[in-house]
Structure 1
Amino acid sequence: MRLILFVAAWFLCLGAAQASTSTPAPVASPTRLDHILLWGRGIDQVTSIMAVKLGFQVRPGHDPGGVANRYIRFSDTSFIELLGITRPDPKFDPGMQEDQQVLKAGPGSRSFGFRSSSLDAIHRSLQAQHYAVTPFFSGPDSAKPGWRLFAFDRAPLSSNTFFIDYAANYAPDQFDPANAGDYRVTREHPNGARELSSIWLVSSDADADRKQLEKMGFGHAVPVKLPELGAKGFCVPVGPTALLALQPDGTGLAEQIMTSGGPRILGVSFGVTDLGRAQRWVERGYERRLVTYRGLSGESFLAPTQDDLGLSIEFHAMQQRSSPCAGAGL
């Protein structure tokens, strides 16, 4: 219940934000990964890193109770929500408090959302399988339809998650619906990022996450290794996106993160229109040379963001794929 208090409080205050079993299941549900919640050491610090070092356009949010948020929105409708404490005595809800305790007041991410237009069917399916799902929450207010979501009283995965959907005319960043140009420009970034392609979870047991995802309706997992992170596990397709359930594979970044901080979101991958431009931008921002490698989504490079953001950011060249896990496989 703590997660839903966290997520619902943010959407209420800020105006933002398939199952293949024998139980009732939305097999054809157009579900995809929607966004992550990313805490910085401060809202201006995390904004500066995302904008100056990495080349994202950051949009304004709000600051209710001493915890501010800002947004990075993409043309595929996904986004990142940035969070930061702005005063010594912030008003935390239980979910925020838990995040801060687990992250030890440092940067990082522990929560992400699935988006689907079949929330009711998914909710019924999960209830039938005895998942501890919450009731629905909606906002920003009854006079202006915006979003609906539900989460879990007990997290089924190693990181917290929720399911959300938005009204067709919902405008979370307050653009004028009549001005399509403004809407488009707010989703264009100097680094060329256009899409969220994958979210990477890390835990001590990737197979446990895989089994839970399959039970929830997200099957067809493909075994995968990520030598750049010292990790192995599974790539699970979620509509056009992929959820990676990983665990440490020898020494490397995944082992370091598990040793120092425990299960969380290890990284996020974004498709860009010009990989060379994105690489040059990040190299200037971090004043170091970076190398590319052949990743799950083709030619990629890893930005050195763990110390700054508490998670890794991968950029890859956008490409047409038959499946978001088409590049996976041991």
Structure 2
Amino acid sequence: MLLCVGAARAATPPPAPAVPLTRLDHILLWGRGIDQVTSVMAVKLGFQVRPGRDPGGVANRYIRFADSSFIELLGITRPNPTFDPGMKEDQQALKGGPGSRSFGFRSSSLDAIHRSLQALHYAVTPFFAGPDSAKPGWRLFAFDRAPLSSNTFFIDYAADYAPDQFDPGNTADHRVSREHPNGARELSSIWLVSGDAEADRRQLERMGFGHAVPVKLTAVGAKGFCVPVGPTALLALQPDGAGLAAKTMAEGGPRILGVSFGVSDLGRAQRWVERGYERALPTYRGLWGESVLAPSQDDLGLSIEFHAMQPARSPCAGAAVSQ
């Protein structure tokens, strides 16, 4: 599932049509080690972490949510691990430290999207399937050169694919595996940071994701655009004065700056993170309403935002509100 993702060649055809069933699916989050990142996510932040595999010296684990999205945790477990091209590129950019610079769009219309991007002269890869040829559970394509400041790919799954369960037919296990002590229920948005938010916005529009709305995130010192992707939002950001965004760019360059999660009880999530980090945390008015930002940058290389879940609405409806 970890592939090199790539970029667009210049072309003039009209933008590809956005597919209504497309949404943000997951991020790939590297830790300093698999146990370190698991501990931070579970103990300090209150997520339930599910088992994964360790096929070649790079272990993975999962944090799955009720809306079908997830986080894939990664960590090196032995010297000279076997990297695929995407892993190698991530590790070079992250310099072996924690962080994330790859994320996936999920769609049931992969073939149509693949054809549309080819027609626009994007350097898309062939399709890949896994976890094995006998019973592939997922199918994806990526890019030979990244069109955005962080790597991306498009993915979909077989209806019965459940990599973190021994018995995919056990619905009770399926439900419990998506319940978290911090109350997290859904992935709401992924925040990209680069030196040119407008360049990411243009590429997203060309790929079929238009309707961008200007946004300003005072909490991390960033500004840019909120781009709706189905029920989720992709934020294309750049530093806006001093702050976490500028610090991140100076120390590590373009990457995923943060991820937002809707929780059933914001007070519970806030208390969990305050106990985990042994400090009081203020709430603020964010893109999704009342929110709290976990001080996880040093541990994870990105920020985790929790917000109170909102009734169904446009994912960028709150973008005009200064955070």
Q: Which amino acid in the other structure matches residue 125 of structure 2?
A: T
Distance in 1, matches of 2:18 and 2:254, equals 29
Q: Which amino acid in the other structure matches residue 131 of structure 1?
A: Y
Distance in 2, matches of 1:155 and 1:207, equals 16
**Structure 1 residue 329: Cα displacement:** 1.8
Helix, strand or coil: the match of 1:282?
A: helix
| Percent of aligned pairs sharing the same letter | 83
Counterparts of 1:1-330 in structure 2, within 5 Å, are 4=3, 22=14, 25-329=16-320
Distance in 2, matches of 1:122 and 1:83, equals 28
Is contact 2:3-2:84 (8 Å) kept? no
Query: 5+ unaligned residues in a row in structure 1: which ranges?
Result: 8-20
Is contact 1:43-1:82 (8 Å) kept? yes
Is contact 2:106-2:156 (8 Å) kept? yes
Distance in 1, matches of 2:205 and 2:270, equals 35
Is contact 2:149-2:255 (8 Å) kept? yes
Spell out, residue by residue over 1:139-182, the C-alpha distance to the aligned partner (whole angstroms, 9 max, x if none).
Answer: 22333131110000010000000000011121221342332111
Helix, strand or coil: the match of 2:203?
A: helix
Is contact 1:302-1:312 (8 Å) kept? yes
**Structure 1 residue 27: Cα displacement:** 4.1
**Structure 1 residue 22: Cα displacement:** 4.0
**Structure 1 residue 28: Cα displacement:** 4.1
Distance in 2, matches of 1:167 and 1:65, equals 25
Helix, strand or coil: the match of 1:4?
A: coil
Distance in 2, matches of 1:59 and 1:199, equals 21
Distance in 1, matches of 2:266 and 2:85, equals 40
Q: Which amino acid in the other structure matches residue 197 of structure 2?
A: A
Q: Please give the TM-score of this superposition, normalised by the length of structure 1.
A: 0.92
Spell out, residue by residue over 1:210-264, the C-alpha distance to the aligned partner (whole angstroms, 9 max, x if none).
Answer: 0000000000000000000000000000000000000000111100111111000
Query: 5+ unaligned residues in a row in structure 2: which ranges?
Result: 7-12
Is contact 1:29-1:118 (8 Å) kept? no
Is contact 2:221-2:244 (8 Å) kept? yes
Helix, strand or coil: the match of 1:120?
A: helix
RMSD value, Cα: 1.7
Instruction: Report how many aligned residue pairs link the two structures.
Output: 315
1:22 to 1:93, Cα distance in 2 relative to 1, 3 A: closer
